[in-house]
Every structure is written in structure tokens, then in C-alpha cells.
A and B are shown apart, each in its own frame.
Chain A
Amino acid sequence: MEWNDKANSAIREAASEWVVRLGSSDLSYADRVAFAAWLRSSPVHVKEYLRAQTTWEAMDEAAQKDSSDIQTLMSSCPKNVTEIYSRSEPGQPAGESAAAPAGAVSKDIDGTEPQQPAVRSRAWLHVAAAIAATLVLTIGILFAPQWVEHLDSNTYSTAVGEQRRMVLPDGSAIELNTRSKVRLQLNARSRDVHLLEGEAFFNVAKDPSRPFRVLSDNAVVRAVGTQFNVYRQPHKTVVTVIEGQVAVARREDAGPVAGSTPEGTAPATGSAPVLVDAGSAVQIVARAAIGQAEVKPNVAVAWRQHRLVFENESLETVVAEFNRYNAQQLVIGNPQLAVIRISGTFDAHEPGDLVDFLTQSHDARALESDSEILLSSPQ
């Protein structure tokens, strides 16, 4: 009974946070003052702190006995890196992909082991940039057999909860978020990416001779040396610019392949291009002017660090977001719960943390099964 008490569980959570904070290497004077005040405010705080601290020590032994391989655990939330080589790019030294933005290199250190061969071979290629492209392709195939299927298919997709990064021969990088799909059309005159589903972040390498375009439903985003995020939703596309500038236009029909459109012009029906600067976001909806989107850039791209940031969002929105990332789906049982406003930063892969938050602060109850977590308020 004691352990189920809500007030007590809040204290237990605070005590655990203190145990962890006290073990950090940059514990400040202010931290210690805060801990001292918290600890000495009640014997219950003392009790929960002592329990948490002694359990923390006992976990050392349990951890020593745990022989799990870290890479195996981490690969459950993969951040795959895929190198893409296109036969229609003769003479492109493979070293060019190694010149991908600094962000690409640091992400590889994430330690996702299926991609280790790709990282190693790319480093080798960077050193041997003068080697002919065909020889490079051969070596690429030897090092990473999975590249062979990608040479034939131009469509890349992610499953629920998966994220994936692709480096293009021109040095551009595409990060795919959960449950997303893109089709690439790269040739000598243009670089087109069709966002068929979901969300992707683009880091576009400058190439004045070839426009880089992202086509998402009826939105056309054209970029020259920029970083931007495109989120395709059922009834709108949201484009958020992080760096540089993009031109966004709307096509009334999303039918024909966009590669057939003359470069630099919007199709006959639709809207004139709107320029979007870094720090801004727009949304493209059918049969309406391109409008400003109410989303902050840091919020729009937090998913790249597997984070979800909410600023006074309804629980309905929050749950829909979490459900993109997790096979175990959150379900709202009562309409009263759906209108609760949520602010905070969450790990996208931990719906349990949202559940904890709701049981603590809104007296919600959770009924868990393998496929879902049903949230309800007590009658």
C-alpha cells in the first residue's frame, strides 16, 4: 500500500533524481544547498533518499552480473547510416561523400554497429579519393553487401521507432524519422527527393548546376545549400528551416512526377514560391495560401536527438506523436484527459515516462498490454 501511494511515489522519484545528481562530476554548491534543504525537510524524504541510495549501491553488483552487449542494446533504436552511390554519377570521386557536413561524421560515433563497416570504408575512401568511381563502387559492395540492393532501388523507408541517415553522392544528407519513406531521383540536371510518407531532415550540399527539391504531397521545397525539416502529415506539410533559405511552392495536383517540371518554375496551377528563412516554418495545405506554421525550429527537429518537445500541447497531440515512434500505442480512454495541456521534453522511445508524468500530476490510470497502454481518469 505504501509503495502505491501517489505522494510517496513523487518523493521516491525526487529521491532517485537526487541520488543521480549527487553522483555527477559537476555537482555545484547550489545543488548541495538544494539537496540539504530537500533532505532535511521531512523524515519521509530521508527514508526515500536512503532507500534510493542503498538500492543504487546494490545495483553495482547486479550490473556487474549483466553481460548484455551495449551495441546490441543500442541497436534497438538504430540510427542507420546508408551510403548511396548512383551509377548515373560517373567521375564522382567517392571521397566527396566523405566531405559530408560535420554533423554526419559525429553521428557515426553514435555506435550503431551494422554501419561500422560503412564508416571504416568511407574513411579509407577519403584517403584514397583519387581512385576511380567504378573501383570505389566495387569496394563498397565488398564491404557492405546491403548496398547492393540500394543500387537497384531508389526508395528508402523506416519502420516504427526507426531513424535512418543517408549520405548522397553530392554530399547532401537526409535523416529519415520514424515511419517515413523517400524516393530519390538524382541525375545530371536535378536532385529530386519525393517524401512519400513521414518526416525527414535535409542537409543540402551546394550545387548551383542542379536544384535540390523535396516533393511532399502538394508541396515543393527548393533548396540551395541549406538545412531544413519537412514533415508530411495527412492534410498538410510543414517545412521548418534551420539554416539558409528555401523556396516553397504548392502544386494543386500531386500527380505527375515532378522531374518533368521545368526547373525553377512552379507548375501551372498552384502558388508562387514563398521564401522561408532560417528560424521560420510554413505549412502547405491544399487549396489555401502557404501560411506560417506555429512551430519553433528547435521543437521541429528535436526528433533527431530522439526527443519530443511539447509546449502547451493537448494530450491528444502528444499521444499521436508518441505513437509514431512506438509499437506499444498510447490510447486515451476519457475525453477529459484528451484536453489536458502538456509541456516538457520526453524521450521519444519511452512512452512509459509520459504515463508516469500523467499518473503523478493528473491522477491518470494506465492499463498496459503488449500492444497498447490505455490511459483513463478515475470516475
Chain B
Amino acid sequence: MSRADEQWLGRLFDESGRRSLRSLASRLKDGTEADDLAQEVYLRLLRVDDVLFIQDPRRFALRIATNVAYEWGRLSRHRRVHTDDESLEEQASAEPDPLEQAAHAQEVAHLSRALERLSPKRRAVLLLHKRNGMTYEQIAAHMGLSVAMVGKHLAKGLVSCQEFFASSRRNASSRGKE
């Protein structure tokens, strides 16, 4: 991984990176925009060199996806489209979208409710990782589970949160529909 790329991945999870991810997330809601965006990311992924891609597939996928989301955001604001080498600074320096911020706050509130509905054990596993910062191995030791079980709980917890979130979004949008 090049130095610039390393920095890119690290900074994806600081403040500016989080905004890019949120912007990406907002474009992945139900609907044709999500499908179109996924299609574009998919095509670009196929063009990436195999060896490079396998070095860090998550990085490539997120980098391409946040770029596409950014480009399309700028397109919709009738601005010129840049290339894949868009830096995070440029993405972050775009004015924060108040609609996006409100949507994000609502998403976090939904996720909090989703967490409450998990079984106590599953919720404990998730909190130990996401809130207390334990690794999967540390959680396994702490709770007397296998690492595989910890992974299963985390994955199922993530699915539950997505499903709960989606169903509330569905209800909200169907109430507000034309």
C-alpha cells in the first residue's frame, strides 16, 4: 500500500472520513440510486488490478464507493466531476449538507433502538467491541465464547440493526409518501 493510500484508509475513520461514509450511506437507501451507485462501483472494481485489489479489498471498495458518492453529489449540484484520485480533504471541504446531518442523527437514534432489541448476550458482545474496543479474541475470553461465536453474534447483530433500521425507514417513508 502506498503511503498516500495508508493515510487515506486511516483518515477514513476520522471526522472527514466519517462524513464521506455518511454521505455514501445516504445514497444507499432503498431505491434506484442505491442500485445505480452499486453498479458503478462494481464496474470500477472490475477494472482494478487483481493483485492490488487483494492487498486490501475493503480499502479499494470504500475508496471507490466514497468517490462515486462524492462525484454524484457534485454532479447533482452541477459541478465538474473529478477523477478517482479525489482526496479526502476535497470531499470533506464540501459544505456539510444539513439534510444529511439530520438523516444521520435519525439513523443513530434508530440504531440505538435496534441495539436495545438485541438479546442481552448479543448486545454485550457488540458493546464490548464497538464501545469498549475489545478485539474478538478478548471478547471470547471475557465471555467464555469461541471466537467464531463472537463473530456470529457480531454479524447477526449487524443484520438485526440493518433490518430494524430498514423497517422503520420503510414505515416512515410510506407514511410520508405522496
Q: How large is the interface on A (under 10, 10 to 19, 20 to 34, 35 or more residues)?
A: 35 or more
Judged by a CB distance under 8 angstroms, whether B10 is at the interface is no
Interface SS majority for chain A: helix
* Most B-side CB within 10 Å, residue of A19, A63, A77, A350: A63
Give CA–CA (A47, B62) in the complex, Å: 11
Give CA–CA (A35, B170) in the complex, Å: 30
Is B45 a contact partner of A70 (Cβ separation < 8 A)?
Answer: no
Is B127 a contact partner of A70 (Cβ separation < 8 A)?
Answer: yes
Judged by a CB distance under 8 angstroms, whether B155 is at the interface is yes
Is A73 a contact partner of B120 (Cβ separation < 8 A)?
Answer: yes
Is A347 a contact partner of B127 (Cβ separation < 8 A)?
Answer: no
Among A29-72, those with CB < 8 Å from B are 29, 32-33, 35-36, 39-40, 42-44, 46-47, 49-66, 68, 70
Judged by a CB distance under 8 angstroms, whether B84 is at the interface is no
Is A42 a contact partner of B42 (Cβ separation < 8 A)?
Answer: yes
- For residue A61, which residue of chain B has the nearest CB? B108
Judged by a CB distance under 8 angstroms, whether A110 is at the interface is yes
* A47 with B135, Cβ < 8 A, contacts A20-B154, A59-B161 known: no
Number of B positions contacting A (CB below 8 A): 71
- Shortest beta-carbon distance, A347 to chain B, in Å? 6
- Shortest beta-carbon distance, A6 to chain B, in Å? 13
- For residue A307, which residue of chain B has the nearest CB? B149
Judged by a CB distance under 8 angstroms, whether B87 is at the interface is no
Is A19 a contact partner of B108 (Cβ separation < 8 A)?
Answer: no
Is A53 a contact partner of B57 (Cβ separation < 8 A)?
Answer: no
Is A305 a contact partner of B146 (Cβ separation < 8 A)?
Answer: yes
* A25 with B131, Cβ < 8 A, contacts A53-B62, A79-B144 known: no
Give CA–CA (A35, B62) in the complex, Å: 14
Which of chain A's residues have a CB closer than 8 A to the CB of B135?
Answer: 25
Is A66 a contact partner of B149 (Cβ separation < 8 A)?
Answer: no
Select one of A29, A46, A63, A353 contacting B126, CB under 8 A: A63
- Shortest beta-carbon distance, A354 to chain B, in Å? 12
